[in-house]
Amino acid sequence: MSTQPGPTIRVTENGPYLVDGLEIRNAAGEVLGAPERYALCRCGGSANKPFCDGTHARQGFDGSETADHGPIGARQDDYQGAGVTIRDDRTVCSHAGLCTDNLATVFRLRQEPWIDATAADVEAIVAQVQRCPSGALSVAVEGDEPSEAVLPQCVNPVPNGPYRVAGGVQVLAADGTPYEVRNRQTLCRCGGSRNKPFCTGMHWRIHFEAP
């Protein structure tokens, strides 16, 4: 795979994310830093969150990457509705809960199958899928490839949660291998993900705090 030009986020071995050319914004949308190189905490222990302060080295953080470098399409399950297909990749879900909270007829908590693509109209499904911060959910209408809203390129530390990365930013593994470029993705910042560098919702279980 080849990398695309533009901003990048590089995972470092057992260390922080090195970010180049990307604005960082808080939950209110305010810019926290200029789009130059900076290091974002990945171990969850920095006293200067979201920026790295070297705590990973003192704590012996194990940041080994386990995420698949293959295309998301190879991991997706498809759920067919009337003129719409919802596609789901559980491996990169950050468990933000926006889908189950806001369109519970389609995204059914603790039911199998957990998605019923026939339970809402196409417009409602597309609107909700595009709110998925991790990109685990995508949608195809009438057989077309999933359409994506144009998002500005930025990284947003979620309070007590992951880094939301928007706009098709290239993420690189510590060895330089690129991950598939996605419009929406979430990167772990609590240090506990089981699919590093991507968030798997472990911040909820370990009660991660990063106001």
pLDDT of 150-169, one tens digit each?
899 999 999 999 999 999 99
Domain 8-67+150-205: CATH class, spelled out: alpha beta
Which of 96, 88, 93, 147 shows the shortest CA–CA distance to 123?
A: 147
Integer Cα distance of 118 and 131 in angstroms: 19
pLDDT band at 1 (very low <50, low <70, confident <90, very high): very low
Pick the CATH number of 85-141 from 3.90.25, 3.30.70, 3.40.50, 3.30.160: 3.30.70
| Amino acid symbol at 40 | L
Integer CA distances (angstroms), 57 to 13, 34, 85, 163, 188, in order = 11, 26, 45, 21, 18
DSSP state of 29: S
Integer Cα distance of 75 and 205 in angstroms: 25
pTM for the complete prediction?
Answer: 0.92
Integer Cα distance of 140 and 191 in angstroms: 33
DSSP state of 117: T
Does residue 31 surpass a pLDDT of 90? no
What's the rounded mean pLDDT across residues 28-38? 81
Element (H, E) at 39: strand 38-40
Domain boundaries, the chain: 8-67+150-205, 85-141
Which of 27, 22, 60 shows the shortest CA–CA distance to 40?
A: 22
Which of 36, 38, 35, 48 shows the shortest CA–CA distance to 16?
A: 38
CA quadruple 38, 44, 49, 55: dihedral positive or negative?
Answer: negative
Residue appearing with tokens 């369109």: 103
Q: Please check whether residue 110 is in contact with residue 164, taking contact to mean a CB–CB distance below 8 angstroms.
A: no
Integer Cα distance of 109 and 92 in angstroms: 17
pLDDT of 114-153, one tens digit each?
999 999 999 999 999 999 999 999 999 986 766 678 899 9
pLDDT band at 3 (very low <50, low <70, confident <90, very high): low
Q: Please check whether residue 82 is in contact with residue 57, taking contact to mean a CB–CB distance below 8 angstroms.
A: no
